[in-house]
């Protein structure tokens, strides 16, 4: 499907992937995704901005054929294969096309696709390319989410082609996003961008003085109200957290489930927002989403052999890798005859800059004295939230 963004000059020529359900063999895609690619026609030259996942190469090539495009430049904002994977076919068909990218991206493209050096023209931060009445400006924005990432700004039409930055994994027939995009965009941020939370504001700062009418990412719909997604990114990357406690957990025989249920009620009674996530059923994208602005995470696990349940290990590893802005972590759970579950979980969260709330590991099913300790944990969490200035209703 081809969409005209600006009449006769700028087209969206990418591809929807309605049925894709996992990315990187890791990230669930409940709503599919898209690989957006854009054609910009100047009076002298034509540029294609990013390509598509190699599984969808034919659809991109068909779109270009329909537009009778002759590509002079292939702008590559990012080397990951879902955007670069069709470059070899493009170069085969459009023999004279030159790749325009930054030096880090060039190095990766040579490694991934064995593209010869003479096919590249390397650009630096702020450099421009005139297509004839269409001027492309290249802005280096590293670590959204690889070291090679840049964005391309079409000066005359004030369109920012941002590749992964501001993207969302959502296949939709609509060219432009409405407010329903918020959860998809936040989930995408959580899964892809959150590990770089402290770097992203520097890139937002670089974009601050651009007049932007449209943000055109390479996944999901475009934004013709750029402030919506720019403001969301400012919020998500800020240090502010919400009055939320998340409890990723597993229970095998009911003891940990009982502790979690009691803690959930105890926290609700104290005015906190709580979300238990049973890891047997939870889509880990939902965990990532909840980690964007939760203040506290309580990891709850039974003891398997001598350590935490493997599903808890997986979720804890991911939470640590995503580096959310959590402020507090605790651990609760149960054992039968012993183990080192607490040490193993706390040893896995070295990337989280958090304060530990007093953990609670009990033997067997909870007893009266254990419920008292769970209430004390709820009190401690509530007090910590108050100390941060979080409003508790």
Binding positions for ligand FEO, rule: CB under 6 A: 78, 80, 82-83, 145, 164, 218-219
From CA 186, how far away is CA 168, in angstroms rounded? 8
Spatial CB neighbours of 136, under 8 Å, sequence gap ≥ 6: 40, 47, 75, 100, 128, 129, 152, 153, 154, 155
The answer to whether 334 touches 363, Cβ cutoff 8 Å, is yes
Of residues 20 and 134, the one with the C-beta less far from ligand FEO: 20
User: Given the structure tokens 């924005």, which residue do they identify?
Assistant: 141
What's the residue count for the chain? 393
Classify each residue of 173-204 as buried b or exposed e, where b means 16 or more C-beta atoms within 10 Å of its C-beta: eebebeeebeebbbbbbbbbbbbbbeebeebe
Q: Which residues pair with 154 in a beta bridge?
A: 136, 159
Measured from the CB of residue 3, what is the shortest distance to ligand FEO in angstroms?
A: 19
Closer residue to ligand FEO in complex, CB, 53/72? 53
Integer angstrom CA distances of residue 207 from 28, 159, 224? 30, 12, 16
Kindly state the smallest distance separating residue 138's Cβ from ligand FEO, in Å.
18
Query: Would you say 78 or 186 has its CB closer to ligand FEO?
Result: 78
Query: CB of 265: closest distance to ligand FEO in angstroms?
Result: 41
Least distance in Å: CB of 235 to ligand FEO? 22
| CB closer to ligand FEO out of 106 and 219 | 219
Nearer to ligand FEO, 145 or 270 (CB): 145
Nearest approach, Cβ of residue 191 and ligand FEO (Å): 11
- Which residues lie closer than 8 Å to 356 by C-beta, 6 or more apart? 328, 329, 330, 346
**Residue matched to tokens 């209703």:** 393
CB of 120 to ligand FEO, least distance (A): 20
DSSP code, position 37: -
CB of 81 to ligand FEO, least distance (A): 8
The DSSP secondary-structure symbol of 302 reads E
- The least distance separating ligand FEO from the CB of residue 354, rounded to whole angstroms, comes to 28
**CA 257 to each of CA 135, 160, 263, 279, 345: distance values in angstroms, whole numbers, following the listed order:** 59, 48, 10, 12, 18
For residues 41 and 318, what is the distance between their CA atoms, to the nearest angstrom? 43
Of 16 and 145, the one with the shorter C-beta distance to ligand FEO is 145
Encoded tokens for 309: 């349940």
- For residues 18-55, one letter each, b for 16 or more C-beta atoms within 10 angstroms of the residue's C-beta and e for the rest, the string is eebeebeeebbbebbbbbbbbbbbbeebbbbbbbbbbe
d(CA 90, CA 57): 9
What is the nearest approach in angstroms of ligand FEO to the Cβ of residue 122? Answer: 20
Nearest-CB residue to ligand FEO? 80
Give the shortest CB-297-to-ligand FEO separation in angstroms: 26
Closer residue to ligand FEO (CB): 147 or 310: 147
Give DSSP secondary structure letters for 212-241.
-SEEEESSS-BBSSHHHHHHHHHHHHSS--
Closest to ligand FEO by CB, 27 vs 91, is 27
Distance of alpha carbon 12 from alpha carbon 232, whole angstroms: 24
Choose between 35 and 249: whose C-beta lies nearer to ligand FEO: 35
For residues 237 and 256, which CB has a smaller minimum distance to ligand FEO in the complex? 237
């Amino acid at each position: 499907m081809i969409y005209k963004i600006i009449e006769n000059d700028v087209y969206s020529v990418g591809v929807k992937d309605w049925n894709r359900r996992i990315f990187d063999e890791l990230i669930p895609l409940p709503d599919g995704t898209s690989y957006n690619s854009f054609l910009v026609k100047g009076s002298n030259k034509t540029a294609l901005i990013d390509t598509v996942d190699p599984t969808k190469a034919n659809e991109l090539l068909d779109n270009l054929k329909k537009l009778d495009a002759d590509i002079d430049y292939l702008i590559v904002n990012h080397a990951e294969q879902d955007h670069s994977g069709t470059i070899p076919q493009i170069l085969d068909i459009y023999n004279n096309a030159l790749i325009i990218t930054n030096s880090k991206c060039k190095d990766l493209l040579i490694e991934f696709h064995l593209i010869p050096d003479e096919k590249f023209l390397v650009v630096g931060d702020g450099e421009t390319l005139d297509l004839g009445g269409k001027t492309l400006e290249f802005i280096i924005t590293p670590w959204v989410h690889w070291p090679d990432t840049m964005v391309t700004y079409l000066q005359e039409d004030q369109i920012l082609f941002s590749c992964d930055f501001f993207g969302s994994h959502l296949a939709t027939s609509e060219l432009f996003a409405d407010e329903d995009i918020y959860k998809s965009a936040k989930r995408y941020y959580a899964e892809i961008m959150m590990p770089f939370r402290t770097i992203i504001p520097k890139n937002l700062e670089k974009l601050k003085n651009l007049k932007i009418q449209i943000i055109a990412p390479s996944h999901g719909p475009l934004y013709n109200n750029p402030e919506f997604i720019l403001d969301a990114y400012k919020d998500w990357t800020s240090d502010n957290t919400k009055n939320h406690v998340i409890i990723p957990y597993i229970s095998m025989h009911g003891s940990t489930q009982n502790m979690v249920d009691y803690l959930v009620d105890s926290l609700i009674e104290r005015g906190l927002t709580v979300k238990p996530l049973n890891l047997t059923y939870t889509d880990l994208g939902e965990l990532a989403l909840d980690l964007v602005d939760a203040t506290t995470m309580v990891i709850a696990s039974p003891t398997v052999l001598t350590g935490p349940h493997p599903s808890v290990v997986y979720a804890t590893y991911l939470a640590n890798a995503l580096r959310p802005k959590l402020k507090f972590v605790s651990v609760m759970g149960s054992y039968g005859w012993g183990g080192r579950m607490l040490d193993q979980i706390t040893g896995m969260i070295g990337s989280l800059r958090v304060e530990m709330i007093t953990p609670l590991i009990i033997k067997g099913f909870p007893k009266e004295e254990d419920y008292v300790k769970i209430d004390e944990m709820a009190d401690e969490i509530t007090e910590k939230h108050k100390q941060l200035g979080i409003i508790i209703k």
